[in-house]
A and B are shown apart, each in its own frame.
Chain A
Amino acid sequence: MSPAPPEPEAFPETETETETETAGPLTNLLLAGTVVVLGAGTVAGALSLGVGSASRPAPGSWPFLIGCALVVLGLAQAVTGRATDDAERFVPTSGLVAAGLVSMLGFAAVIGTIGFELPSLALMAFWLRVLGHETWRSTAVISLGTVLALYLLFVAALAVPIPHLF
C-alpha cells in the first residue's frame, strides 16, 4: 500500500527559486473540454471498431472503456478544476518555446536530404545565439564542437546509418 505523503508542516519552509503565475479558470476549463472531446472521439472510434461484449471482447472494447474514462475525468475536471492552481499561465517568453519547436521541425524536414551536419550546426547556432543570447564566439565553438562530437560518436564509433554529408 502506498504510504500517505508526509504532511507539509513536517518540513521547514524554504524560499521559492522562481515565481510562476498560475493560470486562470479558463485554462483549466479548456483542458477539461479538450479531454472530453478526446474521450468522445475515442468512444466514436471504438464504436466503429466494434465493442463486442464482455464474453467476446472486440478491438474496440478497450478503447471504448478508455474513452468513457476520459469523458468522465474531463467532466470531473470541469467541475473541480476551477479551484485548482497547478496550471501555469502562458507568458511572453512562451514564444521562445514555439520558436524552439519550429527549429526542431525544420531539422527533421531537411536531415534526410542534406545529412545531419549542417542542420545540426544551424540548430545549435539558433538555440545558442538567438534563444540563449550567447556570444558569436561561444556559439561557433560550442556548435562546431558538439556536431563534431556527435559525428565521432554516431558515424565514426557506432556506425549508425544516419544521413551524413562527410
Chain B
Amino acid sequence: MDIGPVIDGFGVVLEPANLLYCLIGVVIGMLVGVLPGLGPAATIAILLPVTFEIEAVGAVIMLAGIFYGAQYGGTITSVLLKLPGEASSVVTVFDGHALARQGRAGTALGIAAVGSFVGGTVSVVAMSVLAPVVAGFALDFGPPEYTALALLGILLVSTVAGGGRLKALIAACLGLLLAVVGRDAFTGGERFTFGSLDLADGLDFVPIAMGLFGLGEILHSLEQRHRAVHAPVAVHDVWPSRADLRQSSGAIGRGSVLGFVLGILPGGGAVMASLAAYALEKRRSPHPERFGQGAVEGVAAPETANNAAATSSFIPLLTLGIPANATMAVIFGALLVQGVAPGPQLVEENPELFWGVVNSMYVGNVLLLIMSIPLVGLFVRVLRVRPAVLAPITVLITLVGAYTVNNSTFDIALVVAFGALGYLMKKLGLEPGPLVLAFVLGTLLEDSLRRSLLLFGGDPTGFVTRPISGVLLAAFVVVALLPLARGRRREPVDQVR
C-alpha cells in the first residue's frame, strides 16, 4: 500500500479550516444526538445548503463529524433521561439509565466516551487498510455488478428498516419511482414531468431528504407535543475508574470488531451494531441478570459498536459508491452536490478528499473524547430547550436552506410536500430511509440494468453467469426468501402455543 496519499491526507485534515469544520461537525453532531427527535440524517439534510459554500473536503469532513458525533450525543439523553437521542443509543438506556439511578451517571457517560473513542479509532485504522483494497477490487465492476449490488443494498436496507418489511419495500419502490422523474439519460425524452419545467431536470435530492427526514419528523412530533419532559439526573465524577475500564475492556474490544463488520454491510450500520453488541455481551456474561440493572459492559459494548459502525459505513460509500444506510445516502447526495462521484475511482482520482475525510475521523474521535466529558454539563443544559422552541427554528432553517439549493421557491414547495409525505409515512408505518436510499440508487440501478441488458443482448441469464454479479444476486435471493423460510419454521411452534 502506498502510504504517500495517506500522509498527504493528514496534511489536508490538519489545515486550520478543515480542523475547524471537523470541530464544528462533531459539536453539532453531539448537540443533535442530545436533542431527541432529529436524527443525523435529518440534520445533515437540513445543513446541506450551508455546505454548498464550503469546498468539498471541508464539507464532507463536517458532515462526517455530525454523523459520528451524534452517535455519542445520543448516549447522554439515554443515560440521563432514559430517552434515546438516537436510534443507535436505544440499548444504552437499559444499563446507562440504571447506572444513573444508582448515582453513577458520570461513570456511564465516561465509559461511553472511552468506548466511542476506541471503537471509532479501531474502525478508522481498519478502514484505512481495507478501503483501498475494496476500491481496487471494485474497479473491475461493470454494469451487471452494479445492478446486483444496488438491488442487494436496497433489499437489505428494506429488510432491516423499522416497521414492516412489505412497507419498507413499498417505500423503496416509491424512491425508485421518484428517481425516474425527469429526462431519460439514454434518449433525452421527458418522463413523468407532467409538462412542468421545474421537473424536467428531475427531482433534486436535497429537498427530498430535507422534507422526509427534517420536516416529516418535526410535523410528527408537533402532533405529539404533550410529551412529558423529565428532569435530568445530576452528573458528577465523569472519569471512569480503573475497575470500570477493566470490567468493560473486553466489551469494548468485541464491540469495536462487531461494529466495524456490521457497519460495512448494507443495511447494517450503527443501530444494528449497538443491538448486536449488547446481545453478544449479555449472552457471553456469566451473570446475564446484571444486564438491565446497571452493568458497565451494557453501556460500553453498544456505545463502542455504534461508533465503530458509523465509521466503517463510509467504506461502501467511498469505495463502491453504494450508501449502506439512510445517513450515508444523504452524505452521498452531499458529495454529488459538490461534484464528487463516490466510487472505486475516488481513491485514485481524488486522494485528497478520500484520505482527508478518512483521516479527519482520527482527529474527530480525539475531539469527541476531549470534549464529550467536559461538555456534559452544557449538553444537559441544551436539553432544557423546549421542542416548541426548537421546532420553528429548524423549520425556518430548512425552508430558507431549501431556497438556497437552486434559488427557487419551487424547492421550498417541494420540501413542504415531502415534509407532508414524511409525516404521512411515519403515521402509516413506512420508513423514509428505504425511500431515500432507493432514490439515490435509482439512477445508477436503471442505467446499469439497461446497459447490462444491452450488453447481454436481452438475455437476463448473463447476470448469473458472471461470478460477482451471480454471487450478489444469489445473496439477494437468499435475503428475499429468508423471512418466508423463517415464517414456515415458526408456524408449528405458534400452533402449539
Q: Determine if B475 and A62 form an interchain contact, defined as CB atoms under 8 angstroms apart.
A: no
Q: Is B459 an interface residue (CB 8 A)?
A: yes
Counting chain B CB atoms within 10 Å of each CB, which of A6, A27, A111 scores highest?
A6
Hey, which chain A residues are within 8 Å of B278, CB to CB?
A: 6, 10-11
> Is there an interface contact between A53 and B283, defined as CB atoms closer than 8 Å?
no
Given A123-B396, A150-B400, A14 and B93 contact (CB-CB distance below 8 Å): yes
Instruction: Check if A1 is an interface residue, CB within 8 A of chain B.
Output: yes
Contact with B along A136-166 (1 / 0, CB 8 A): 0010001000110010011000101110000
Task: Report A-chain residues with C-beta under 8 Å of the C-beta of B428.
Answer: 23, 27-28, 31, 87-88
> In B74-109, which residues have CB < 8 Å from any A CB?
82-83, 91, 93-94
Could you tell me which residues of chain B, from 402 to 458, have a CB within 8 Å of some CB in chain A?
403-404, 407, 409, 412-413, 416, 419-420, 423, 426-430, 446, 449-450, 453-454, 457-458
- A residues 104-127 near B (Cβ < 8 Å) are 104-105, 107-109, 111-112, 116, 120, 123-124, 127
Inter-subunit contact A2/B177 (CB<8 Å): no
Provide 23 A-B residue pairs closer than 8 Å at the C-beta atoms, listed in order of the A residue: A3-B262, A5-B160, A27-B428, A35-B170, A38-B177, A39-B173, A63-B180, A66-B176, A69-B173, A70-B170, A73-B166, A77-B166, A84-B167, A84-B429, A86-B163, A88-B427, A88-B429, A101-B219, A123-B396, A124-B393, A154-B404, A160-B404, A162-B403
Known: A54-B459, A133-B388. Is A104-B419 also a contact (CB below 8 A)? yes
> Interface size (B, Cβ < 8 Å)?
91
List which A1-39 residues lie within 8 A (CB) of chain B: 1-3, 5-7, 10-12, 14, 17-18, 20, 23, 27-28, 31, 35, 38-39
B460 contacts partner chain A, Cβ-Cβ < 8 Å: yes
Whether the Cβ atoms of A91 and B189 lie closer than 8 Å is no
Whether the pair B423, A97 counts as a contact (CB closer than 8 A) is yes
List residues of chain B with CB under 8 Å of any chain A CB: 49-50, 53, 82-83, 91, 93-94, 156, 159-160, 163-164, 166-167, 169-170, 173-174, 176-177, 180, 184, 186-187, 189, 191-192, 215, 218-220, 222-228, 262, 265-268, 272, 275-276, 278-279, 282-283, 291-292, 386, 388-389, 391-393, 395-397, 399-400, 403-404, 407, 409, 412-413, 416, 419-420, 423, 426-430, 446, 449-450, 453-454, 457-460, 475, 478-479
Closest A-B pairs by Cβ, 7 of them = A55-B458, A132-B388, A12-B292, A86-B429, A127-B392, A54-B458, A6-B279
Residue of B with least CB distance to A84 = B164
Q: CB within 8 Å of B: which of A61-90?
A: 61-63, 66-67, 69-70, 73-74, 76-77, 80-81, 84, 86-88, 90
Consensus secondary structure, chain B interface: helix
Q: Which residue of A lies closest to B293 (CB)?
A: A12
